[in-house]
Chain A
Amino acid sequence: MEADPNPILEDVRAFLSACPDSYDFPIGGELSIPSAFEQKFLTLLSGDVTNQLLESVRQNISRNDAYSLVIFAVRMAVHAARTKDTAPIEKSLWILSVDDNDVDWRDTLIALSIVEDCSARSGFNFTNRIAELAQLAPSRRRKTIEDGYLSRTPEMRDVETLGYKPINPDSNELYYVRDY
């Protein structure tokens, strides 16, 4: 059997197989943040993102998998905001530029707004980094990030405008609930 040219794929597969059925959009339902399988996956990620990495993951995931990865990225942002440690966002943000249209663009907008809200709470420079990652994203996702999200006014990017309300802000029990 040939060695996997991109070992991260094995880690992605292991992560996806560990995701429970209750891993609901956008923040995994009632599951505690972070769960053990997420912590394990996070330790395997680095902030280094290449086209090869994105392409190999992109070609090996289903729509459902793409949702699970985006949910993971959102949850890691919440984890970062709770702990005031930017590393979980730095290591997982690239996931938002993986798939083209597997995750509904409307759900992508919601995910981006929660991640941005968490970034502000943890001190992470979200706008610069997501703009860089948009350059690596496939065309449909790039359009959503740049035209659909970054071109909005701050008010239109606000997490509450995009339908989610932070609960217990500024605490290590930060959470978001649907509010529309």
Chain B
Amino acid sequence: MVIASKIKSSLYAWLCVMVVVLGLAENRAWGFFAPPEPAPGQIEAVSPEAVGENYEASAYDASGYAVAPIRGAGGAGRQFASNFDDFLVGRTFKSPAEARKAFDVYQQAAKADKGILIGHGDDAIGQAFDGWQAFRIMERQWTPRINMSWIDGAVDAGKPVRLITPFENVRRGSVTWDEIQRVISRGGELISP
């Protein structure tokens, strides 16, 4: 309870720090936050500075919870990769099978009617209806790169990403935390509970 309270009280500060760090994330030593490095000319990179400039601090209430959509780079983001070769630019996978699966989920996410859901474990699956799509994959097939490709698919297609888990319950460094970082750093629209 004490730790959760501390996290809640420092949430706003962390989000501000996060945006600043995104601006510094060129160095891979900051790899925790560093966006993938796109090759020239294939995927239009969103500048980290743009994320900072477009960050809507007013979207947070006094306790630091988002009460309105947050948009990173204002949708000025990357082009949707409509073919496998374009998708591979700037990405590294450990096997061809992983790359193929990642492209599949990238395309799936882009087809969501309203947008995609993210959150802790299977939380999102229970709320995947009315045009909102959750990520479904067998545990033995899951990899973080496939997971993030799914996020990218929605963001690149201009679809919003809705966080199901209250932010105060998201552990820093967890996959859900990384998903949030990914949406923001890629210039997507994040809707928080």
A binding-site residues for B, Cβ under 8 Å: 16-17, 19, 21, 24-26, 29, 62-65, 67-68, 101, 104-107, 109-110, 143-144, 147-149, 151-152, 155-156, 158, 160-163, 177-180
B145, A19: Cβ atoms closer than 8 Å:
no
Residue of B nearest to A160 (CB): B94
What is the bound-complex CA distance between A18 and B94, given in angstroms? 38
User: Which residue of A25, A143, A161 is within 8 Å of B173 (Cβ)?
Assistant: A25
User: Which residue of A29, A106, A177 is within 8 Å of B142 (Cβ)?
Assistant: A106
Tell me the minimal C-beta distance from A96 to chain B in angstroms: 15
Residue of B nearest to A156 (CB): B140
The answer to whether A155 and B94 touch (CB under 8 A), given A26-B173, A101-B121, A110-B144, is yes
User: Which residue of B7, B122, B141, B143 is within 8 Å of A21 (Cβ)?
Assistant: B7
- B56 interface hit (Cβ, 8 Å): no
What are 30 A-B contacts defined by CB distance under 8 Å?
A19-B3, A21-B7, A24-B173, A25-B171, A25-B172, A25-B174, A25-B177, A62-B1, A62-B4, A63-B169, A64-B3, A64-B7, A64-B171, A65-B3, A101-B122, A105-B122, A107-B175, A109-B142, A110-B144, A144-B139, A147-B139, A148-B139, A148-B140, A149-B140, A151-B140, A152-B140, A158-B94, A160-B94, A161-B95, A178-B173
B140, A67: Cβ atoms closer than 8 Å:
no
- B192 interface hit (Cβ, 8 Å): no
The answer to whether A106 and B121 touch (CB under 8 A), given A19-B3, A158-B94, A161-B98, is yes
B binding-site residues for A, Cβ under 8 Å: 1-4, 6-7, 10, 31-32, 94-95, 98, 120-122, 139-145, 147-148, 169, 171-178
Tell me the minimal C-beta distance from A141 to chain B in angstroms: 11
| Other A-B pairs, 9, CB within 8 Å; known A67-B171, A106-B121, A178-B31 | A64-B171, A101-B121, A110-B144, A144-B139, A148-B140, A151-B140, A162-B144, A180-B143, A180-B145
User: Which residue of A29, A161, A177 is within 8 Å of B143 (Cβ)?
Assistant: A161
B176, A104: Cβ atoms closer than 8 Å:
yes
Chain A residues with CB under 8 Å of B94's CB are 155, 158, 160-161
B173, A106: Cβ atoms closer than 8 Å:
no
Chain A residues with CB under 8 Å of B175's CB are 104, 106-107, 110
Tell me the minimal C-beta distance from A165 to chain B in angstroms: 8
What is the bound-complex CA distance between A179 and B94, given in angstroms? 12
What is the bound-complex CA distance between A106 and B178, given in angstroms? 12
What is the bound-complex CA distance between A144 and B139, given in angstroms? 7
Chain A residues with CB under 8 Å of B4's CB are 62, 64
Tell me the minimal C-beta distance from A173 to chain B in angstroms: 15
